[in-house]
Chains A and B, each alone.
Chain A
């Protein structure tokens, strides 16, 4: 395991993406990249796995739809049948058109909220969490790539990072 982490600071997202490509090509290990905004194509260049949140969101939607069907059936058919606007409220199917908006809304509600919560959990973010980024400038206009290096080649990696267009390179001991 490499004990040392080098922080390379970039000022432009295009330079960052180019640097990530070059660093990958040199087979240096990139631990993390900190950016102030989502950089298009960065995940592909870093070789991150494709997100599975779409699948999760589909399942949450199906869950929301099921909850809506169950809820409307329980409320309007089983527990307390009501006659609204002269509609025969004896079977779920006969009243279905009136329930479609609720089914739609709950599908969206479940998919949206559970997806956000899932995203927070997977990203390990919660209220009052202390920021993990090594430099507050990454929340403004700077980009930082964190590269790990073994003790004996810190110098050569740092020089390489400079050659990729880093504005500054600093050492962070872990």
Chain B
């Protein structure tokens, strides 16, 4: 049995407390009305004001209306900022924990022999699903109360003048949105609960009927997941830009969450090994995880590029605007993320021997996690905060808070279960696994 060390517990609590302070600061410093926003705009950047002075002399009356519109726009963006900053790590860590469960069910369905030693790590990471899902749901509920302007299609005034969104209202309406969230999050939690409790029951006695039950549950979960993940990625992320759509968007989100989840599994396994647990996990297991990290990173890049190139080539305004807003305001991050998530794993993990060296896997893993945090950042921020984005206290505070919460719940989850699933049918193969 693993016991969470006091140091780690303290570390996660410190992260949460510091994070809450950062989140609180973010909400306090966000402008409450347009006058405050105007003041902040003026004090933030003098060159911004100068630019406006230049246009003002050009056409006095016109620019004043423009100025007012600009202030209103900037106000909404700045008011959104703490919410968006909260939303990015919220979805990122929640999807990591779901991704770990997906990886676990894939092991069950493929009847993999190498991985049973890591089952408890995967189940432990999926322990964050419950708190994660509750926070996600309440965040979405608050959004429907118009406390923020993240989802523009929730605003009745905007929809009244927007034909494109009007056509989508049979799907994009608040009631159906909340129903989808409840049903899908609930179904995922149900499957997680069933799978883990069956797996724990199996520790007490060798019972193949439980194994078969989990196999069937896993198949059911994967079938449900691949459709419901698409729905949630449309709802939570693609609907931020309700005019724009991409048919491979759910896959793109899935690749990002899957590679982050596998990376987290590898990092947690290496951490547990370094604390003297999971001694039967050898370099070959880490090698396999690193192969997945390498492969799914390239899969992510493939989808990133497929989405980018088709839109770039066709150059249709209603599609291209998605990338225009990202390249204009987030240029370094947009291309930097792709470089980190593609070139990093490609060059570091290509060598077969490097995949067996734990510190190299840890280093690349941290790189991948940072890169995919920014991938989520780029999925959410440009549509909600636009050009008013910063990487400041609200963003870092939210990241720290969720990192702390995540660490606390995954290690608590691992400490509740015996580390080795004693009667898993393929356990022997996993213990003797070598490449």
Show 5 residue pairs from A and B whose CB-CB distance is below 8 angstroms, ordered by the A residue.
A85-B315, A86-B315, A97-B308, A100-B305, A100-B309
Cα–Cα distance between A10 and B257 once the two chains are bound (Å): 50
**Contacts A85-B315, A86-B315; A58 near B350 (Cβ below 8 A):** yes
Interface residues, chain A, with chain B CB atoms under 8 Å away: 54, 58, 85-87, 97-98, 100-101
Contact A97 B315 (CB under 8 A): no
User: At the interface, is chain B mostly helix, strand, loop or mixed?
Assistant: helix
The 4 lowest CB-CB distance pairs between A and B, nearest first, are A97-B309, A97-B312, A85-B313, A100-B305
Contact B313 A97 (CB under 8 A): yes
Considering only residues 226-266 of chain B, those with a C-beta below 8 Å from chain A are: none
Interface residues, chain B, with chain A CB atoms under 8 Å away: 305, 308-309, 312-313, 315, 350, 352
Q: Which residues of B contact A98 (CB under 8 A)?
A: 309, 313
CB-nearest residue of chain A to B302: A104
State how many angstroms separate the Cβ of A49 from the closest Cβ of chain B: 15
Cα–Cα distance between A100 and B305 once the two chains are bound (Å): 9
Q: Which residues of A contact B350 (CB under 8 A)?
A: 58
Cα–Cα distance between A2 and B261 once the two chains are bound (Å): 58
Cα–Cα distance between A101 and B312 once the two chains are bound (Å): 14
Cα–Cα distance between A54 and B350 once the two chains are bound (Å): 10
Cα–Cα distance between A97 and B350 once the two chains are bound (Å): 24
Cα–Cα distance between A73 and B350 once the two chains are bound (Å): 28
Q: Which residues of A contact B313 (CB under 8 A)?
A: 85, 87, 97-98
Contact B312 A54 (CB under 8 A): no
State how many angstroms separate the Cβ of B284 from the closest Cβ of chain A: 13
Cα–Cα distance between A97 and B315 once the two chains are bound (Å): 13
CB-nearest residue of chain B to A84: B313
State how many angstroms separate the Cβ of B327 from the closest Cβ of chain A: 12
State how many angstroms separate the Cβ of B287 from the closest Cβ of chain A: 14
State how many angstroms separate the Cβ of B330 from the closest Cβ of chain A: 18
Contact B309 A54 (CB under 8 A): no
Cα–Cα distance between A112 and B15 once the two chains are bound (Å): 49
CB-nearest residue of chain B to A101: B309
Cα–Cα distance between A87 and B312 once the two chains are bound (Å): 10
Cα–Cα distance between A54 and B305 once the two chains are bound (Å): 26
